[in-house]
Amino acid sequence: MPPEPSETLLTTAETWPYICGTPRRIALNAWLTTNGISPHDIPVTTDLKVVESADGPVVDHYAFLRNADGFRYVDPNDPDQVAMEHRQLPCETLPPKSKRSDITTLALLQCITDRTALRQAMPLEDAIRTPTAWELLCTVYPDKVVTAALFREVDRDLLDYGINVTYSFLTAEGVTRFLELGGILHPQRARTSFKEGA
């Protein structure tokens, strides 16, 4: 579901793998620190966003809880989870603006590979309702930034597309470069087309 106009979604559990290890993560960590929030206390399984409130913008997030010794501990009500709580703190500075270089080649190719494998493993009616790589990344980046990143890789011959660049797929050169960068290729898709929806 797209975020409400009154909020800016920065990371989600689904997008975190494509933000981790990128310039975007470095920028967000610095921004969190400036706002008095430790990046190490943010669970990657939760949303991080800025929400407009009656008192101004707040950083809406979950944070791990720590005991008197400073260690995280298991949630007494759920032994399979680390204890955490929902917090809203005043947003002292706005989050950094995203740019094309925030979406690295590896992150983009991995996202396309993952979403393609996911969608192709589903019945058609479910795949149609499942976000493509472009749609997923657009939940935390402006669509023009994601589109620019796609065209960057098209210009490098790592991606190709049919009618719409938002349905880009890896070329043979793209697969080779993807693996060189340490990308994870899904075994069931190793010898088949990478086209979205194929």
The domain locations on the chain are 7-90, 100-189
Note the pLDDT of residue 187: 64
Note the pLDDT of residue 127: 86
CB atoms within 10 A of CB 15: 22
Token pair listed for 73: 């501990």
Note the pLDDT of residue 164: 94
pLDDT less than 50: residues of the chain: 1-3, 5, 189-198
Mean pLDDT of the chain: 91
Token pair listed for 38: 């430790």
Residues 136-183 have pLDDT tens digits of: 999 999 999 999 999 999 999 999 999 999 999 999 999 999 999 999
Residue entry with tokens 């990128």: 22
Note the pLDDT of residue 42: 96
Q: Which long-range contacts (CB under 8 A, 24 or more apart) does 19-22 make?
A: 19/107, 19/140, 20/44, 21/104, 21/106, 21/107, 22/102, 22/103, 22/104, 22/107
Q: To which H or E segment does residue 159 belong?
A: strand 159-160
CB atoms within 10 A of CB 109: 25
